[in-house]
Structure 1
Amino acid sequence: MDQAAGRLGSLLAEAFGGPLPLRLRAWDGSEVGPADAPVLVVRSRRALHRLLWKPGELGLARAWVAGEITVEGDLYEALARLAPLIWQHEDGPAERNVRRLLPDPRLLRLAGQVLALAGPGLPPTPPREELRSRHGLKHSLRRDREAISHHYDVGNDFYSLVLGPSMVYSCAYWDSQDSTLEQAQFDKLDLVCRKLALRPGQRLLDVGCGWGSMVLHAAEHYGVHAVGVTISVEQAELARKRVVDAGLADRVEIRVQDYRRIDDGPFDAISSIGMAEHVGSVAYGTYASQLFGLLKPGGRLLNHQIARPPRADESTYSVDEFIDRYVFPDGELAPVGTTVSLLEQAGFEVRDLESIREHYALTLRGWVTNLERNWAEAVRLVSPGRARVWRLYMAASAVAFEQNGIGVNQVLAVRTRTGGNSGMPLVRGPWSS
């Protein structure tokens, strides 16, 4: 029997400058590597063809989505073991090790050896879950609608399966690791309401309202009149049903509306939870200025946003190909310092910043547990490829948060009144004065 695993393992070791920290099983049944490690299974030579035609991250992602590679054993451990090969920290910034190899002349020789192992073949068709065509300028109204639809309009039943009854698709807030996902999401929504110092009769805007969980919580528990906006039609349909079912139709309005088209301010408070990652650097100044203009003097903004570490040379930043093609098209992450600066440039006074990085790792693990527990139903609702996309992106994101590859922050800002009165309390904690 041709020992494909040994040959492939040697090629990977040469490419990455060290042995693969996983056990490797090839399509011929051969295995190499540490016996106590998770197993990276290469089920088909087609996976090698994908890497030859699209070296690096995107080729690997396509092979995973197509089911040509998988992991047996603890997926989190496998991803954590692979992280040092994928991420290399030098002088603070994170660089993609795979991308650093691409211009290396060694790859030409390695590619020839991979081709000999894979055999002849045309480039495989990318799995259908990949978004390949985009229309219009980046972050134009039309293109943003298409990007949001790709990710969110895949079926409310699927999201209900993954997210659980809370239907909250953002980082929860865990008092302890023994808390439930539902309780942690309730606590996050309540924390946002308290930071905004919501009171009965106030008017709240929730930008990127998803399935309406924030506006429902604020109306039910804090007595506000709330407007939630989303550009996902499927989200809005379910959010409106939830509002009616909760008996809150007189206090909660759900709109299919881009944040750039909101013109009926002012609002007493604005929440933006897990939405700003979709805005992009070219539009972030517009986003910040628009929210500032929609707030009453003395009003507060709670901006809850994923962040990446800064780079010594920000011009080298490029988006994650897997995430961009399969998960969040046109999404962008920025350092939290950049976010704070842009909010301040728009006129906000930033009063508090809370990092809750570890909380997102716990949240993602909860979502992965829901997905894996209901795997057959998830595949039925979407497709095997789409389910594999979600499992990989959520598990890999959990590891990235755990290893401080990315973070998430709640930034509390205020539109200070003329004369400098912020309306903020003197001490942090009791958020209302």
Structure 2
Amino acid sequence: MGSVLSDLKGIDKLFYKTMLKDLFSDTCTVKFWDGEEVIYGEGDSKFKLILHEPIPKADIIADPSLAFGEAYMHQKLEVEGDIQKIIESLYHNLDSFLGKNNMSTKVAKKISNNIKKSKKNIQHHYDIGNEFYKLWLDDTMTYSCGYFESDDDTLTQAQKNKVNHILKKLNLKEGQTLLDIGCGWGELIISAARNHKVKAMGITLSSEQLSAVKKKIENAGLDDLLEVKLMDYRELKDRKFDRIVSVGMIEHVGKDRLHEYFSNINNLLNAGGLSLLHCITGIRNNEGGTNSWIDKYIFPGGYIPNYRELIGHMAKEEFYLLDVESLRRHYGRTLENWAKNFEQALPLIQKSKDEVFIRMWRLYLNACAASFNCGKLDIHQFLFSKNINNEIPWCRNYLYQS
């Protein structure tokens, strides 16, 4: 029996040596389970991979993202070096085995996210606990891409910049009504009410976020202008709004529900009203996708749409597309900040989370940073109107005036 296992590991090792030969764009060292170390590339090694045991070849071929992600989570695979840089080195080598199989996104299997399933999926990620997110998010508790106006901007400033940038695009007027679909911890609706005197409503599927937002509204003394509810956007009936915003929410909708999202926006928006959609977008030619490891462990039921899909749905609802902006590099920097904060908060995180959870989140934050930095993923803001809106300033200068 021992001889058979030894032979099988020998076959696995040969497969690994062949695969690793041209896997990364940088020189690296690989230490195998039997202690052998091999340097791949020329010059100084930039990082080291340690394989404590073989990962089944069939698993790697079938789904490299899931196979390597689980191996890292369960300490079958160890790394010495910067995880983000290691993944970027992998992405930069487009001719490698994994580069051709694209570890960042796959075409998504059809998953129908009805209201019940959507609530369950959101709670899986966002109801981990407000205290956990407080440890590594910024002071505003904003869990989406920041907007860095200068290299000196802190993460908190970048998040305030982002909210301000969105509210300027919406061209808000005092007394207007605003709906925030997926309001998170409430920074956007609170800023809208405080700075633009609009009546804003936030909706979320996270009970943890709901309680936190209610407390923030009360502390800000903005109860007369703000309301927040625990509900799915599809449950909102008999209401109309002058402005609708959604930041980082449509990624949870699912491919077969995108039409439903834009149809509901059409029903909820007043004629001449504006809507801003801020979301991650895929870079595949014609369709979006998902990452199987992230789908299983981080965002179940998620789907990253291609920008062509989104614009197509806007056209079907006869919306007028007014502005499109990519913030890809901004999200890379945001994620780098989160990953750094996560490591700094590790002693506190370890008090309530086990090693598998910690390694899972470490990989998630660093892999996402690498994906945006290398152009495997993008993020866009789309501004569109229902019917004609002739009140928007003629030029974009107003977006950049303090």
Same fold flag (TM > 0.5): yes
Shift of 1:52: 7.3
Query: Which residue, out of 24, 33, 47, partners 1:38?
Result: 47
Q: Does 1:22 align with 2:28?
A: yes
TM-score by length of 2: 0.87
Q: Map residues 25-424 of structure 1 onto 2, 5 A cutoff.
A: 25-33=31-39, 35-42=44-51, 44-45=52-53, 47=55, 51=59, 56-84=64-92, 95-96=100-101, 138-311=112-285, 314=287, 318-416=289-387, 420-424=388-392
Q: Which runs of 5+ in 2 are unaligned?
A: 1-5, 105-109
Read off the aligned partner of 1:189 and give its amino acid letter: V
Q: Please say if residues 6 and 32 of structure 1, whose CA atoms lie closer than 8 Å, have aligned partners that are also in contact.
A: no
- Identify the residue that residue 15 of structure 2 maps to in structure 1: 11
Counterpart CA distance in 1 for 2:130 and 2:54 is 33
Task: After TM superposition, give the deviation of residue 95 of structure 1 in Å.
Answer: 4.7
* SS, match of residue 239 in structure 2: coil
d(CA) in 2 for partners of 1:413, 1:53: 42
| Deviations 1:87-106 (CA, angstroms, capped at 9, x unpaired) | 559xxxx852579xxxxxxx
- Residue 356 of structure 1 and its aligned partner are, at CA, apart by 1.0
2:175·2:198 contact (CA, 8 Å) conserved in 1? yes
Name the CA distance, whole Å, in 2 between partners of 1:410 and 1:65.
Answer: 33
Larger RCO (CA under 8 A, 6+ residues apart): 2
Q: 1:364 to 1:68 in 2, by over 3 A?
A: same
> In 2 relative to 1, CA 243–157 (structure 1 residues): closer, same or farther, beyond 3 Å?
same
Q: CA deviation at 1:280?
A: 1.5
Question: Structure 2 vs 1, CA of residues 220 and 36 (structure 1 numbering), >3 Å: closer, same or farther?
Answer: same
**RMSD between aligned alpha carbons?**
2.8
C-alpha separation between the residues in 2 aligned to 1:421 and 1:220? 25
Shift of 1:29: 4.5
Q: 4+ residue runs of structure 1 moved beyond 6 angstroms?
A: 5-9
Count of aligned positions: 382
On the 8 A contact 2:245/2:275 being kept in 1, the answer is yes
State the identity as a percent: 32
Q: Distance in 2 between matches of 1:138 and 1:212?
A: 28
1:257 is displaced (CA, Å) by 0.6
* TM-score of the two chains, using structure 1 as the length reference: 0.81
Larger CA deviation: 318-327 vs 8-17: 8-17
Query: Using the alignment, how far apart are the partners of 1:19 and 1:399 within structure 2?
Result: 16
Q: In the TM superposition, what is the alpha-carbon distance from 1:407 to its structure 2 partner?
A: 0.5
Q: Does 1:428 align with 2:399?
A: no
Deviations 1:207-231 (A, max 9, x none): 0011111111111222111110011
One-letter identity of the residue aligned with 1:165 = D
Secondary structure class of the residue paired with 1:298: strand
Encode CA deviations 1:337-394: one digit per residue, 9 max, x unaligned.
2211211211311100111111000100010010011112123233322222221111
In the alignment, structure 1 segments of 5+ residues that lack a partner are 100-135
Q: 1:155 touches 1:382 (CA, 8 Å); kept in 2?
A: no
CA contact (8 A) 1:22 1:78 kept: no
Q: Distance in 2 between matches of 1:52 and 1:332?
A: 22
For the 8 Å contact 2:112–2:257, the answer to whether it is kept is no
Distance in 1 (CA, whole Å) between partners of 2:128 and 2:392 is 41
Asked whether the 8 Å contact 2:59–2:67 carries over to 1, the reply is yes
1:106-134: CA deviation from partner (whole Å, max 9, x where unpaired): xxxxxxxxxxxxxxxxxxxxxxxxxxxxx
C-alpha contact (below 8 Å) 2:181/2:246 kept by paired residues = yes
Distance across 2 between alignment mates of 1:327 and 1:143: 15
